[in-house]
Amino acid sequence: MTHAAPVRVGPEAVPNRQRHWFAAFLRTRREASAGILLLVTLVVLSMTVHLWADYTPSEVAGAPFSPPSAQHLLGTDDLGRDYLVRLMTAGQTSLGIAFFAAALALLVGSAIGIAAGLRGGWLDSWLMAGIDLVLSFPSLLLALSAVTVFNPTKTILVLVLALIAVPQFARVVRAKCLELREREFVLSARVSGVPDPVIAVKHLLPNVLPLMTVQFANTAAIAILIESSLSYLGLGVQPPDPSWGNMIYAAQSYMIECPWLPLGPAGALLLASFAWGLIGEGFSGGSRSLI
Amino acid sequence: MTSTTPSATTLGRPEDPAARLPLLDIRNLTVGYGEAAPSVQGVTLRVEPGEIVGLIGESGSGKSTVAMAALGLLPRSARIEAERFDVCGVDIRSASTRELNTLRGSSVAMVFQDAMGALDPCMRVGAQIAEVVKRHQRLRGAACRNEVLELMARVGLPNPETRARQYPHQLSGGLRQRAAIALALAGKPRILLADEPTTALDVTVQAGILRLFRRIRDELNVAIVLISHDMGVIAQTADRVAVMLDGSVVEQGSVEQVLLSPETPYTRKLLESAPSLDTEPARTEAGDAPVTGQHGSDPERRTDLMTVTGVTRRFRVKGRHITAVSDVSLSVKRGEVLGIVGESGSGKSTLAKLLVHLDKPSAGTLAMDGLDYTRLRGARARRFRDAVQMVFQHPAGSLNPRLKVGTSIREPMRASKVSRGDGEDRVRGLLREVGLPEGCGDRLPHEFSGGQKQRIAIARALSSSPDVVILDEPTSALDVSVQAQVLDLLDRLRSQHDLTYVFISHNLAVVRQVSDRVAVMYAGRVVEVGDCATIFANPQHWYTRTLIAAVPSTDPRHRNDGEGEAPRVGGSGAAGNATPPTDNAPACAFATRCPRAEARCWAEAPTLTEVGPGQQAACHFPAARGAVAEQGGS
């Protein structure tokens, strides 16, 4: 018997549902909790920058190249703009693009994965052939060519990053669905005449959800890095809009004299990507026991 | 070969004084984890050299924990307390890792249920055995090679030279288990722990493995601890038996004593709930509602409900065609229980999927109440599905772990037919009917035990008010006492709801207990079909006879020791005696194993023909009636 203590059915055996699920979550998934805390801090600081900051991101606030001080916590850049304010404003862009790209990839990729995994047959073959086609391009090259052809607006960036992430999503979800499809509860639903869309939503989706959470976090971690790479190459977010990638690019000329300039955005990038990674890791550990 | 004094036939190890001591001496062993109640409590067990001790009990009774403790393989978190815990003279409690490693393999060895797990899939069988021989017997080169081949021959692996060069996946399940036993014997152990060694095997293969255990005990004077949940296995193999319940040994003694005149109520209950081929299936007096089998009215008046005509299902696996079901024709009559028996791979489950329209046949038709549903799609298929439901083997798998059980039960009721309130009422009613509290519909599946989950799965199958329920091994994953309850429940529901069952199982005793008619499948074909009582009393197809003979009797006095005839009905121990006239696959798939196979069996496929009233068999040379009685006595 897999379950240590099956509840004996009877009035005395009402299962003690976890009332404080939040507390339980913090206790059992420390990595994920740490990741979420870190990420939420970054997001809140970025989103509320206009509320707490004394300067706007493009306003000349002091002397150029001022080192970190009480007035400018991270110093100022080559034009004398407050670097912390710019960093947090860039966070809105960088975090936002990664989040929406991962969310879009989740929607599209999971839909493809579930459809392919549930239906099988020619639909599966065709969808997977398409996925393999996308996968056969190196992802950065794909992003570079797409951004070169279209104007690198934020929407295009989200679409391109999502396109890169869709195949992984589709594959992971499809593999799980292929396994679930043969499970007896899906077969009994079939025997009862439950139509495929209902099976997909009611039986497959809840069971691939933990997997999707993990994949979503990992995708977001990678998307942040790819977006920064593109911006660093000058093909992502365009100045004067700040993003962590183009801030690193702008800072590299002053690297020796003003080390805080590249270190600020690089650190933010590291923290954000690390936070997403922690979330992914934290959920993947537990998800196996859930299934 | 009913040797109770094994020393007389000892061939292997020379007698030394130490061999007189008990090999396993456990006194008052308690194993616990953390704060929970101990999983083994006060177990006392002695195993003498050359003795087979059966350890029997239901899942969770602590049988395996005792074995793992004796090997020193319990996790570190386990608390082990005992007055004495000696294995081959070594005190397990104080043994160092080095001592334990020497002990394992050279003094104690283990055989597991899953032979594939015990063998390394990337290593040739011979090389794996040689590795142990080298380490424990310090043999090299030709001596080692000869020892490996001798071991393989001893455990009954045919053509050891060829088999030694094969990989585990190239061996069949039975041969793989034999290879695993050879591997266990390679270190010349004095005691062998076998944990459910035949549970995953077909019954005909199991019989051979059990004989092998007794032979190696006789020839090598190895003591064997045989852990099993199956009364028959223990009765056929063990000298002494210990019955375990909730971590304690409740009864211990010689096999005759414990199984024939059990002293504790628990052992009696175990014996009663295990269906057996030796006793008449339980039947109530006429007038009462029948408990099992032989339901109600005159079979002649029953009409055909489902008709299967010439159904074949082929699969293409890596370019090769595999015929899982081949030209099967059957009818299921209204109100009856049709049992389908056969070994693994005989096509039972594929047939079940075809019956419930989960899969479409490559050829042939299936009809329900005269309506051909072979190619039904869409709304009409959905309407058909209300009438046919299915219950699967694994209670854990048949419920979505993330849905409340009430939602699962309500799934087959279509939204258009049942309003929300009515649905709730029906779910409560169904839960009550299957013996669960009405209010447990809003719990999740993991809160229930295996038997309770199977009850939920049954409630779910009934919720669309079907005419037919296909039961695919519904009790195979359950303990015998739970199985008995579920079988009772199924029978009660059948009479209350006028249901028709198709009951698929590999367990002949269960099928005999519940069925009105039985179909026997072999290699995708129905080889024999007829009234349940007739088939079990007088099997005509040689496969049916082999199958029935292989079921281990729960009576230890009926031991099938020779390689030949079984004490029950007819049967054949050895493989077919006919030399194949050609290298081609025989027309009758059973010909290679059949004791009566002749040239005609290779040339011409037999068809189902009437061999008696209400009995059909697909055999050119069916067992004659007289021969059965004759063989039954021998």
Lowest model confidence (mean pLDDT) among A72-81, B5-14, B458-467: B5-14
Across A132-140, average pLDDT: 87
- Give the HSE-up count for residue A139: Cα atoms under 13 Å, Cβ half-sphere: 19
> Which part of chain B is CATH 3.40.50.300?
6-273, 308-402+449-535
A62 domain residue, yes or no: no
> Under a CB-based contact definition with an 8 Å cutoff, are residues B352 and B472 in contact?
yes
Across B111-130, average pLDDT: 87
**Binary contact (B385, A192; C-beta < 8 A):** yes
Find the domain containing A236 and state its range: 75-285
- With a cut of 80, say whether residue A84 has pLDDT above it: yes
A18 domain residue, yes or no: no
How many residues are there in chain A? 291
Question: Tell me, what's the pLDDT at B581?
Answer: 56
**Binary contact (A187, B401; C-beta < 8 A):** no
Question: Tell me, what's the pLDDT at B203?
Answer: 87
Across A138-148, average pLDDT: 85
Question: Tell me, what's the pLDDT at A60?
Answer: 83
- Among B400, B404, B469, the strongest candidate for a mutation testing the A interface, having the largest count of A CBs within 10 A, is B400
Residue of chain A nearest B412, judged by CA positions: A192
Question: Tell me, what's the pLDDT at A102?
Answer: 95
Chain B residues lying within 8 Å of A183, measured CB to CB: 397
Chain A residues lying within 8 Å of B408, measured CB to CB: 185
- Give the HSE-up count for residue A209: Cα atoms under 13 Å, Cβ half-sphere: 10
**Binary contact (A187, B390; C-beta < 8 A):** yes
Q: Which of A149, A129, A42 is nearest to A89 (CA)?
A: A42
Question: Tell me, what's the pLDDT at B627?
Answer: 45
Residue of chain A nearest B352, judged by CA positions: A191
- With a cut of 50, say whether residue B14 has pLDDT above it: no
Distance of CA B557 to the CA centre of its chain: 22
Distance between A198 CA and the closest CA of chain B, angstroms: 10
DSSP character at residue B439 = G
The whole-angstrom separation of Cα A95 and Cα A101 is: 10
A211 domain residue, yes or no: yes
> What's the mean pLDDT when you consider all of chain B?
83
CATH fold of B6-273: Rossmann fold (3.40.50)
Question: Tell me, what's the pLDDT at B280?
Answer: 67
Question: Tell me, what's the pLDDT at A237?
Answer: 85
Across A232-244, average pLDDT: 85
- With a cut of 50, say whether residue B397 has pLDDT above it: yes
Phi, psi of B286 (to 5 degrees): -60, 145
CATH of the domain at A158: 1.10.3720.10
- With a cut of 90, say whether residue B59 has pLDDT above it: no
Q: Which of A160, A154, A138 is nearest to A95 (CA)?
A: A154
CATH 3.30.930.10 fits B308-402+449-535, yes or no: no
A228 domain residue, yes or no: yes
Question: Tell me, what's the pLDDT at B613?
Answer: 83
The whole-angstrom separation of Cα A112 and Cα A200 is: 11
Distance of CA B522 to the CA centre of its chain: 16
Task: Report residue B391's pLDDT band, with 50, 70 and 90 as the boundaries.
Answer: very high
Task: Report residue A99's pLDDT band, with 50, 70 and 90 as the boundaries.
Answer: very high
- Percentage with pLDDT > 70 across chain A: 91
Distance between A197 CA and the closest CA of chain B, angstroms: 13
A27 domain residue, yes or no: no
- With a cut of 60, say whether residue B579 has pLDDT above it: no
A187 domain residue, yes or no: yes
Q: Which of B354, B352, B357, B333 is nearest to B467 (CA)?
A: B333
- With a cut of 70, say whether residue B148 has pLDDT above it: yes
Phi, psi of A247 (to 5 degrees): -70, -40
Residue of chain B nearest A207, judged by CA positions: B402
Task: Report residue A113's pLDDT band, with 50, 70 and 90 as the boundaries.
Answer: very high
Task: Report residue B565's pLDDT band, with 50, 70 and 90 as the boundaries.
Answer: very low
Q: Cα dihedral sign for B299, B302, B303, B308?
A: negative
Lowest model confidence (mean pLDDT) among A104-113, A172-181, B194-203, B623-632: B623-632
> Under a CB-based contact definition with an 8 Å cutoff, are residues B249 and B243 in contact?
yes
- With a cut of 70, say whether residue B204 has pLDDT above it: yes
Reported as type and span, the H/E element at residue B227 is: strand B223-228
- For residue A104, the tally of other CB atoms under 10 A from its CB is 18
- With a cut of 80, say whether residue A284 has pLDDT above it: no
A60 domain residue, yes or no: no
The whole-angstrom separation of Cα B88 and Cα B103 is: 8
**Binary contact (A193, B414; C-beta < 8 A):** yes
- In chain A, the number of structural domains is 1
Task: Report residue B121's pLDDT band, with 50, 70 and 90 as the boundaries.
Answer: confident
Task: Report residue A6's pLDDT band, with 50, 70 and 90 as the boundaries.
Answer: very low
Chain A residues lying within 8 Å of B386, measured CB to CB: 193
Chain A residues lying within 8 Å of B403, measured CB to CB: 202-203, 206
**Binary contact (A185, B447; C-beta < 8 A):** no
Pick from B386, B393, B457: which is nearest to A193 by CB? B386
Across B392-409, average pLDDT: 87
Better-predicted residue by pLDDT, A166 or A59: A166
Q: Give residues with Cβ within 8 angstroms of B348, minimum separation 6.
A: B340, B341, B342, B472, B504, B506, B521
**Binary contact (A193, B452; C-beta < 8 A):** no
**Binary contact (A10, B446; C-beta < 8 A):** no
**Binary contact (A202, B386; C-beta < 8 A):** no
Better-predicted residue by pLDDT, B20 or B603: B603
> What's the mean pLDDT when you consider all of chain A?
84
Across B86-108, average pLDDT: 85
Task: Report residue B112's pLDDT band, with 50, 70 and 90 as the boundaries.
Answer: confident
Residue of chain A nearest B436, judged by CA positions: A9
**Binary contact (B411, A3; C-beta < 8 A):** no
Task: Report residue A108's pLDDT band, with 50, 70 and 90 as the boundaries.
Answer: very high
Exposure string (b/e) for A54-87, b if CB count within 10 Å is 16 or more? ebebeeebeeebbeeeeebebbbbeebbbbbbbb
Residue of chain A nearest B405, judged by CA positions: A185
Lowest model confidence (mean pLDDT) among B275-289, B306-320, B476-490, B503-517: B275-289
Alpha helices in A182-241 (DSSP H): 184-191, 196-199, 205-232
Question: Tell me, what's the pLDDT at B328?
Answer: 92
Residue of chain B nearest A190, judged by CA positions: B358
- With a cut of 90, say whether residue B377 has pLDDT above it: no
Q: For B240-282, what is each residue's pLDDT tens digit?
A: 999 999 889 999 999 999 988 899 999 998 888 888 887 766 5
Chain B residues lying within 8 Å of A200, measured CB to CB: none
A220 domain residue, yes or no: yes
Q: For A192-227, what is each residue's pLDDT tens digit?
A: 888 888 899 888 998 898 889 889 999 998 999 898
Question: Tell me, what's the pLDDT at B591?
Answer: 85
